[in-house]
């Protein structure tokens, strides 16, 4: 075999190895994105100041059990105001209470109590003075098994469990683990 033929054969093997490596890498990324993590955009201002409209989030649902303070994305069906019957729009909200906890919202005081204490998630709450007329209603509910109670951090501008009721955990797409975009805010989200 001549030197030229050996070089051509070596080049073909090298190209084939690179194509094989690239195909394997793409397959691994697709498996990870479809099985272990997902991404979701933020649509709206209900999570301001924690998250902004158009932020891109990375979610995980692997071995996930909802916990107070988690930011989750869940499926909704806006056509009848109830969840679980169809997928229309993903909601991004913070878990305020889990199954068995007692939630009381005092509309006059604009206070949220969980098990008799002011919610620990109030430290994330944003009360936009421009929306101070947002209607509040009194709520007194014990969260049923397999459900969570969620609120948007922007308390005056959020469709959440105050209107939707407790959220079925089967409708949770995932817990927010990372903000991917915008680049100046990239990182974990609290």
Q: What residues are annotated to the active site?
A: 46, 93
Q: How far apart are CA 124 and CA 120, in angstroms?
A: 9
The DSSP code for 179 is: E
- Six token digits for residue 130: 């421009």
Which of 126, 168, 173 lies closest to 149, judged by CA? Answer: 168
Q: E strand or H helix at 123, and its extent?
A: none
Q: Compute CA distances 108 → 105, 135, 136, 139, 142, whole Å.
A: 9, 10, 8, 11, 20
Cα angle 64, 67, 75; round to 5: 65
């Amino acid at each position: 075999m001549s030197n030229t033929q050996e070089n051509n054969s070596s080049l073909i093997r090298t190209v084939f190895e690179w194509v094989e490596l690239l195909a394997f890498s793409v397959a691994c990324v697709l498996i990870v994105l479809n099985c272990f993590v997902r991404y979701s955009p933020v649509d709206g201002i209900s999570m301001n100041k924690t998250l902004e409209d158009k932020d891109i989030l990375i979610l995980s649902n692997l071995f996930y059990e909802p916990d107070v303070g988690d930011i989750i994305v869940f499926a909704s069906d806006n056509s009848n105001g109830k969840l679980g019957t169809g997928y229309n729009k993903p909601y991004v909200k913070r878990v305020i209470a889990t199954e068995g906890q007692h939630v009381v919202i005092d509309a006059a005081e604009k206070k949220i109590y969980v098990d008799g204490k002011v919610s620990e998630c109030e430290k994330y709450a944003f009360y936009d003075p421009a929306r101070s007329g947002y209607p509040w209603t009194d709520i007194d509910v014990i969260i049923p098994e397999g459900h969570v109670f969620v609120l948007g951090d922007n308390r005056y501008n959020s469709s959440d469990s105050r209107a939707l009721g407790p959220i079925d955990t089967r409708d949770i797409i995932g817990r927010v683990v990372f903000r991917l975009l915008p680049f100046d805010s990239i990182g974990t989200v609290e």
